């Protein structure tokens, strides 16, 4: 393994000292999907000494178009993403520690996952978890790298608490549920998450080797249009997270509640705050992702395995499961956080 990092170590931006810093680093990758698999592979090849990969889902055939660590056998056997990813990463670089964690990331689990880490990578697929990450990392003074991709577009920004803006300085409040496109409703060009994740890893390596002067620059990209644009996000002194330090997303009450229905294979998911969904617009976005039936006060959306009965007040009845975390995940994917 003596020559594994030879081409990286001779980079003046990294050098032998930077390579040693990478080897001593402990990085948490939250999500093993399109973003997270690319992040984890590049960080593994870069020589990050301890990598923790977190995901609670299983590999599906629809993942294979863009989630680069998996192959058809993983989908066929419905392997847990974190476990399958870790196995592949160990093959790529047996000289580092890869730790899979099969857990749902939320207010109750995030602090434990952050313990002992030097940096966090955002490989999540929903807005709610990103705001939980932002609150938790700012509270802990831990740098993290935000990223998102849908359709042909993506965004990335490094957050260094105390030295620049946080996610809420750029996006003060999460978008209303049902208003944001997702990969399941709008599709995704594989190049978009791959490019976003590559940019995130470059930001992460800069931070890990001690260069944080570019923190707070928000980059948007669209590989289909060949467009890149970077802006400097100002830190907001009145930001409820890094300014007032209130951290509302770390309170479980700020997360949608999920309850199993007695005697039924179903879970009711209720939004944390009162909302009103635009059902016709939501039904239009869901077309192509499954069967859709728009009623006067509800939308029935069905995939091959589950049915979602969606009401205008944001309440969703998820039929076909008694798994609370899975029900929340389905609502986040198809309706929004």
Residue-range domain boundaries for the chain: 6-250, 256-334
Q: How confident is the model at residue 195 (pLDDT cuts 50, 70, 90)?
A: very high
Q: Give pLDDT, residue 254.
A: 57
Q: Encode burial over 176-205: b for 16+ CB neighbours within 10 A, e otherwise.
A: bbbebebbbbeebbbbbbbbbbebbbbbbb
Q: So what's the pLDDT on residue 102?
A: 86
The pLDDT of 51-61, averaged and rounded, is: 90
Question: And the tokens for 219?
Answer: 């980059």
pLDDT at 263 over 60: no
Give which of 186, 176, 180, 168 is closest to 249, Cα–Cα.
Answer: 168
> What span, in angstroms and rounded, lies between the C-alpha atoms of 308 and 61?
21
User: What's residue 80's pLDDT?
Assistant: 87
| Residue 186, pLDDT score | 77
pLDDT of amino acid 184: 67
Output the six-digit token pair for 312: 């205008």
Residues assigned a catalytic role: 183
Please give the structure tokens belonging to residue 212: 């944080």
pLDDT digits (tens, 9 = 90+) for 172-192: 988 766 566 677 677 889 999
pLDDT in tens, 208-260: 999 988 889 999 999 999 999 999 999 999 999 999 999 999 986 556 677 77
Mean pLDDT of 106-117: 92
Same fold, 6-250 and 256-334: no
The confidence band for 315, taking pLDDT boundaries of 50, 70 and 90, is confident
pLDDT at 6 over 90: yes
Whether the pLDDT of residue 147 is over 90: the answer is yes
The separation between CA 222 and the C-alpha centre of its own chain, rounded to angstroms, equals 19
* CA–CA dist 60, 80 (Å, integer): 10
Calculate mean pLDDT across residues 3-17: 95
Q: What is the pLDDT of residue 1?
A: 47
Sign of the C-alpha dihedral, residues 85, 89, 91, 97?
negative
Please count the helices (runs of H) and the strands (runs of E) in the chain.
Answer: 12, 14
The CATH number of the domain covering residues in 256-334? 3.30.310.10
Kindly report the pTM of this predicted structure. 0.80
pLDDT for position 178: 59
- Residue 58 has a pLDDT of 83
Q: Give the span between the Cα atoms of 22 and 153, in whole angstroms.
A: 30
Spatial strand order of the sheet with 144-150 comes to 97-101, 50-54, 26-30, 119-122, 144-150, 153-159, 217-222, 227-232
What distance lies between CA 68 and its chain's CA centroid?
15
Residue 262 confidence (pLDDT) above 60: no
Q: With 90 as the cut, is the pLDDT of residue 49 above it?
A: yes
What percentage of the chain carries pLDDT values higher than 90? 63
Q: What's the fold here for domain 6-250?
A: Rossmann fold (3.40.50)
């Amino acid at each position: 393994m003596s020559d594994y990092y030879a081409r990286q170590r001779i980079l003046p931006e990294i050098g032998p000292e930077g390579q040693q810093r990478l080897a001593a680093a402990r990085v948490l990758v939250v999500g093993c999907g399109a973003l997270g698999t690319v992040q984890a592979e590049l960080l593994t090849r870069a020589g990050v000494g301890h990598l923790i990969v977190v995901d609670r889902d299983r590999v599906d055939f629809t993942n294979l178009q863009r989630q680069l660590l998996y192959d058809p056998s993983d989908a066929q056997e419905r392997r847990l993403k974190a476990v399958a990813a870790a196995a592949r990463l160990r093959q790529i670089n047996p000289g580092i520690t890869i730790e899979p964690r099969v857990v749902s990331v939320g207010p109750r689990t995030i602090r434990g996952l952050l313990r002992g880490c030097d940096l966090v990578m955002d490989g999540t697929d929903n807005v709610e978890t990103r705001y939980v990450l932002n609150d938790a990392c700012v509270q802990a003074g831990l740098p993290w790298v935000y990223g998102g991709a849908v359709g042909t577009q993506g965004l990335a920004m490094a957050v260094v608490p105390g030295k620049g803006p946080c996610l809420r300085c750029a996006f003060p409040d999460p978008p209303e549920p049902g208003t944001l496109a997702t990969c399941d409703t709008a599709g995704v060009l594989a190049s978009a998450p791959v490019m976003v994740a590559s940019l995130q890893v470059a930001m992460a390596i800069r931070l890990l080797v001690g260069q944080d002067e570019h923190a707070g620059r928000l980059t948007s990209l669209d590989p289909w249009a060949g467009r890149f644009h970077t802006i400097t996000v100002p830190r907001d002194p009145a930001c409820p997270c890094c300014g007032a330090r209130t951290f509302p997303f770390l309170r479980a009450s700020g997360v949608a509640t999920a309850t199993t229905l007695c005697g039924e294979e179903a879970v009711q998911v209720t939004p944390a705050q009162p909302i009103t969904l635009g059902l016709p617009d939501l039904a239009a976005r869901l077309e192509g992702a499954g069967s859709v039936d728009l009623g006067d006060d509800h939308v029935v959306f069905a995939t091959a395995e589950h049915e979602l009965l969606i009401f205008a007040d944001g309440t969703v009845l998820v039929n076909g499961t008694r798994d609370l975390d899975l029900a929340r995940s389905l609502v986040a994917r198809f309706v929004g956080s």
